[in-house]
Chains A and B, each alone.
Chain A
């Protein structure tokens, strides 16, 4: 009798791990019939949009079991940590969400974890259904590596029409006008620019628009390819402008999230805010009316340009259900799949032939601009730079937004560019 407890403990030590591994084996026996989709779309319109696209997939392939593996929290940070562990451990999910562009390419493609998906676009004759600028952003060495399911615009200025009207002002179209207008608003006791950078990246989000306004699209692209230096006069002008803009922001910006700041505009607490176009979906969900509570225009000085970011899915090497992933990517790239997902998510399709009647007024306007504008990649959202680089940029921004020291920031921006720009 006395021996038994020890034996029991010992037995447990050996049996438990065995059980765990048995679970693992079972999963792989299912392969061929299932599809695991890994994302951080857990809330509101995102999760519903994903579900709509899953429904499209299910209708086409009713036999394939869909495993919707979402990891909540941290704007994708938690999901990315789980993903990194799984990829490095040789257990990749079938399909995973990733920002199109360098976030995908520098992290996963260059390190050899991904398979090209050019053949999916070619076989379906879809190469010309995506704008060339988009194909460039998702390509590496001539091959396409991910299927973008949506497009968001970063360089949008949201403004409060009533505040502008009351003060007899027009929304600014370039930086000079911005500072004139901001000065007048400030004198009238209105906060000119709402910022909510408690999470860090909204400051970088604002900076990318300010840089584009000074450099134009060509130089903007070259800056992130390290062909233009940070001491270039146009880039310097942008940094000066950013520092100057901080005089016109709300004093509690470090305590607010980006959505709080967007809310300030609709509530009339601030006149302008620069944020991506998911704000339109947010306003809609809060029952604010376009033209009354809010309106939009491209950020000052960036008319004719479209800073894009996009969520995409790729094909990992050794994906357990490769055939099913390819079917899934076909749905992601199809008109049907994109038109199911995007109206609910509040983004526009990455294809040029979306069904306009399914999208609201703002999204239709965004689709017009996407079709006609110069498209450049977003920095804050992983299209133009790698995650390694952007985390360092966000750190520099955290200090720069506070001390407004252009000289010091320039040196630091250049140092991280030298270290992390693709060679």
Chain B
């Protein structure tokens, strides 16, 4: 592309102020957090004495943080699986069967317009063990004693209480992934499907051999979007459950907020932030890499 020098200079001038702000307030502060996380700062007064990985060592030996990491892992996993499988199923129904597509699309997309805080409060009521769905089951004559988000039982490292959060989060993002898949399905040329039908391919064969492979980029994008939401989840858990009994619904974000701003354990908070940053980087960097490669070719 032809680009006169003067234009380039003007362009630079325009992006400069924002870049400067970004460099100081985002990248500068990330480096600052990194420095704090290696320090002995535990209280209101800054104490920048270098203590190496001591904060990290302490974190990984604390029950709360280890539980948080497993919670993040399982929450992310199930949230993504439910949203992607459910989202594809719904979008396929809309694509191939239902007539009132606009209506259903709106219904499923609507929860997305709420904030996680609203969703959290709402599902807290629905799943509250004494007054929520359990009470409904009782009225219908069933015995329901599942504690939902107060349950302290677990299977291996998977706390059953997380199920409640997975339901709430999936409820909100199912419609979103559905819309993504729907857009993808609309982009698949009809001719391919028609010719497959002429060759005698059944519905499942078409899904398996045509639709799913062609939706791969969409699935990938959906995983990135859902993944970074669930890795830094804070608002939903904060509004819905808090850290829960024995941290069954605790996440690194909650821990970071409490330990830094309630307990003034600044170095510990910084260490948690850095670990969260690394977790998200694990998801985002491959994504950026693949996007840039896509743009170049």
Interface residues of A (CB under 8 A from B): 6, 9-10, 13, 77, 80-81, 84, 87-88, 106-108, 111-113, 197-200, 251-255, 387-388, 390-392, 395, 398-399, 401-403
Starting from the known contacts A77-B258, A106-B43, A252-B150, 8 additional A-B residue pairs (CB-CB under 8 Å) come to: A10-B13, A200-B242, A254-B147, A255-B124, A255-B148, A388-B264, A398-B243, A401-B246
In chain B, positions 247-280 with a C-beta closer than 8 Å to chain A are 247, 258-259, 261-265
Q: How far is the CA of A84 from the CA of B124 in the complex (A)?
A: 31
Q: How far is the CA of A254 from the CA of B159 in the complex (A)?
A: 15
Question: Which A residues are CB-close (under 8 A) to B245?
Answer: 197, 254, 398, 401-402
Q: How far is the CA of A87 from the CA of B246 in the complex (A)?
A: 34
Q: How far is the CA of A369 from the CA of B124 in the complex (A)?
A: 40
Q: Judging by beta carbons under 8 Å apart, are B247 and A398 in contact?
A: yes
Q: How far is the CA of A77 from the CA of B124 in the complex (A)?
A: 21
Nearest chain A CB to B259 CB, angstrom units: 6
Q: Judging by beta carbons under 8 Å apart, are A77 and B130 in contact?
A: no
Question: Which B residues are CB-close (under 8 A) to A107?
Answer: 43-44, 264
Residues A251 and B247 in contact in the complex (CB < 8 Å), given A6-B10, A395-B64: no
Q: Judging by beta carbons under 8 Å apart, are B246 and A399 in contact?
A: yes
Chain B CB count within 10 A is highest, among A84, A87, A255, A395, for A255
Chain A CB count within 10 A is highest, among B246, B247, B262, for B262
Q: Judging by beta carbons under 8 Å apart, are B128 and A255 in contact?
A: yes
Nearest chain A CB to B100 CB, angstrom units: 38
Residues A254 and B44 in contact in the complex (CB < 8 Å), given A84-B261, A388-B263: no
5 pairs, A vs B, C-beta closer than 8 Å? A9-B17, A251-B147, A391-B263, A398-B247, A399-B246
Q: Which residue in chain A gives the minimum CB-CB distance to B244?
A: A254
Q: How far is the CA of A401 from the CA of B242 in the complex (A)?
A: 15
Q: Judging by beta carbons under 8 Å apart, are A111 and B44 in contact?
A: yes
Q: How far is the CA of A390 from the CA of B263 in the complex (A)?
A: 7
Q: How far is the CA of A387 from the CA of B147 in the complex (A)?
A: 31
Q: Which of A13, A80, A111 contacts B43 (CB 8 A)?
A: A111
Q: Judging by beta carbons under 8 Å apart, are B128 and A200 in contact?
A: no
Q: Which of A84, A112, A197, A402 contacts B264 (CB 8 A)?
A: A84
Q: Judging by beta carbons under 8 Å apart, are B246 and A403 in contact?
A: yes
Nearest chain B CB to A217 CB, angstrom units: 27
Q: How far is the CA of A13 from the CA of B148 in the complex (A)?
A: 50
Q: Which of B17, B128, B129, B265 contacts A391 (CB 8 A)?
A: B265
Q: How far is the CA of A392 from the CA of B43 in the complex (A)?
A: 13
Question: Which A residues are CB-close (under 8 A) to B44?
Answer: 84, 87-88, 107-108, 111, 113
Q: Judging by beta carbons under 8 Å apart, are A387 and B17 in contact?
A: no
Q: Judging by beta carbons under 8 Å apart, are B150 and A255 in contact?
A: yes
Question: Which B residues are CB-close (under 8 A) to A113?
Answer: 44
Residues A399 and B63 in contact in the complex (CB < 8 Å), given A77-B261, A111-B45: yes
Q: How far is the CA of A81 from the CA of B258 in the complex (A)?
A: 10
Interface residues of B (CB under 8 A from A): 10, 13-14, 17, 42-45, 63-64, 124, 128-130, 147-150, 152, 241-247, 258-259, 261-265
Q: Which residue in chain B gives the minimum CB-CB distance to A76?
A: B262
Q: How far is the CA of A88 from the CA of B45 in the complex (A)?
A: 8
Q: How far is the CA of A6 from the CA of B128 in the complex (A)?
A: 55
Residues A388 and B43 in contact in the complex (CB < 8 Å), given A10-B13, A77-B262, A251-B129: yes
Nearest chain B CB to A180 CB, angstrom units: 27
Question: Which B residues are CB-close (under 8 A) to A254?
Answer: 147, 149-150, 152, 244-245
Question: Which A residues are CB-close (under 8 A) to B13?
Answer: 6, 10
Question: Which A residues are CB-close (under 8 A) to B17?
Answer: 9-10, 13
Q: How far is the CA of A406 from the CA of B246 in the complex (A)?
A: 14
Q: Judging by beta carbons under 8 Å apart, are A399 and B247 in contact?
A: yes
Q: How far is the CA of A9 from the CA of B10 in the complex (A)?
A: 12
Q: Which residue in chain A gives the minimum CB-CB distance to B17?
A: A13
Q: Judging by beta carbons under 8 Å apart, are B242 and A199 in contact?
A: yes
Nearest chain A CB to B58 CB, angstrom units: 10
Q: How far is the CA of A108 from the CA of B43 in the complex (A)?
A: 10
Nearest chain A CB to B152 CB, angstrom units: 5
Nearest chain B CB to A411 CB, angstrom units: 12
Q: How far is the CA of A399 from the CA of B67 in the complex (A)?
A: 11
Q: Which residue in chain B gives the minimum CB-CB distance to A107?
A: B44
Nearest chain B CB to A299 CB, angstrom units: 22
Residues A391 and B246 in contact in the complex (CB < 8 Å), given A111-B45, A255-B129: no
Nearest chain A CB to B219 CB, angstrom units: 36
Q: Which residue in chain B gives the minimum CB-CB distance to A113?
A: B44
Q: Which of A9, A106, A387 contacts B262 (CB 8 A)?
A: A387
Q: Which residue in chain A gives the minimum CB-CB distance to B238?
A: A74
Q: Which residue in chain B gives the minimum CB-CB distance to A82?
A: B261
Q: How far is the CA of A353 from the CA of B260 in the complex (A)?
A: 40
Nearest chain B CB to A12 CB, angstrom units: 9
Nearest chain B CB to A205 CB, angstrom units: 16
Nearest chain A CB to B97 CB, angstrom units: 40
Question: Which A residues are CB-close (under 8 A) to B247?
Answer: 398-399
Nearest chain A CB to B90 CB, angstrom units: 31
Q: Judging by beta carbons under 8 Å apart, are A252 and B130 in contact?
A: yes
What are the 6 tightest A-B residue pairs by CB atom distance, in nearest-first order? A391-B263, A402-B246, A254-B150, A81-B261, A13-B17, A254-B245
Nearest chain A CB to B263 CB, angstrom units: 3
Q: How far is the CA of A6 from the CA of B8 in the complex (A)?
A: 13
Q: Which residue in chain A gives the minimum CB-CB distance to B149?
A: A255
Q: Judging by beta carbons under 8 Å apart, are B42 and A388 in contact?
A: yes
Nearest chain A CB to B200 CB, angstrom units: 56
Nearest chain A CB to B166 CB, angstrom units: 17
Question: Which A residues are CB-close (under 8 A) to B259?
Answer: 391
Q: Judging by beta carbons under 8 Å apart, are B263 and A392 in contact?
A: yes
Q: Which residue in chain A gives the minimum CB-CB distance to B42?
A: A388
Nearest chain B CB to A370 CB, angstrom units: 29
Q: Judging by beta carbons under 8 Å apart, are B263 and A252 in contact?
A: no
Q: Which residue in chain A gives the minimum CB-CB distance to B63?
A: A399
Nearest chain A CB to B128 CB, angstrom units: 5
Q: Judging by beta carbons under 8 Å apart, are B263 and A198 in contact?
A: no
Q: Which residue in chain B gives the minimum CB-CB distance to A250?
A: B130
Q: How far is the CA of A71 from the CA of B45 in the complex (A)?
A: 23
Question: Which B residues are CB-close (under 8 A) to A88?
Answer: 44
Question: Which A residues are CB-close (under 8 A) to B45?
Answer: 111-112
Q: Which residue in chain A gives the minimum CB-CB distance to B130?
A: A252
Q: How far is the CA of A254 from the CA of B130 in the complex (A)?
A: 11
Nearest chain B CB to A21 CB, angstrom units: 16
Question: Which B residues are CB-close (under 8 A) to A390?
Answer: 263
